[in-house]
Amino acid sequence: MISPPISETLQEPQSQTVDALCGKHGAYLAIVRQYDMGAGKPFTHQTSCPTCAKERQEAEAAQKAAEEARARRRRVEALIHGSGIPTRFVDRTFASYQAAEQGQKIALGVCRTFAEKWPERLASGGSLVLTGGPGTGKTHLACAIGNDVMERHLASVVFGTVSSMLRHIKSTYSKESTRSEQDAINELCRPDLLIVDEVGVQVGSEHERLLMFEVLNSRYQELMPTILISNLNAEDLEGFLGQRVMDRYRECGAVLAFDWGSHRGR
């Protein structure tokens, strides 16, 4: 014969309120419950000091919050380490960008808004094209966006030049490679945000142009945000990338002209 569960044999407990003393917090009212376990085996339970219980809960909550904060910090550090953002730009923020001219203030505002509305940009595949001469702050603002979305949203970010991305794809051409060209292209399509620097610096063969078009078009179709940085003006950049690519980036974002002088060395 199978004995019934203990919970079914317990009788309703008898309870009473009694004066109790906590060695740390002094007197308190405790509830004493006596359970009839049967066979003359009563079981008595007295509630502990409520202040002690509250302190334990607060300490456990604080410990849990601290552990979660440490785990989040490690995650952010791993994202930054794996992003490829150059050491010179790894600490770039919107606050450290000096905007004196009206155009700089507009560029700062657009880039800051892009980061602030990251969930919407991620959902819609929002992108940016930053064009203009060297030393005008394009890479600073692009990396500030990357640093911000990694810090606040744990977004995955990859930064690279066109030449480094082409090398990444071409590395699959080796006989020893276990990856295909498409595998490498897919890897560039996975990050939440891809920042492509030095667009148009190299002349590039037709094959290289097709490879970059494949990456940019794939990210466009999959609604993956991308930031393009180029020293070319918008017209020359369109000549390099082609009208189809530029039209698609105008459709899903803004083309910002950094048309002021270089600030390097100032």
Residue ranges covered by each domain of the chain: 15-37+48-76, 84-258
Report the candidate in 249, 246, 173, 159 with the shortest Cα–Cα distance to residue 208.
173
Q: What pTM does this model have? A: 0.82
pLDDT along the chain (266 residues), means of 10: 56 82 92 78 86 95 96 96 95 94 94 97 94 92 98 97 92 92 94 94 76 91 95 83 83 88 64
pLDDT, residue 249, reads 83
- Report the CATH fold assignment for 84-258: Rossmann fold (3.40.50)
pLDDT, residue 237, reads 83
- Helix count and strand count (H, E) for the chain: 10, 8
SS3 call for 110:
helix
- What DSSP element (H or E) covers 8? helix 6-9
pLDDT, residue 236, reads 84
pLDDT, residue 6, reads 54
169 vs 181: CA distance, rounded Å:
6
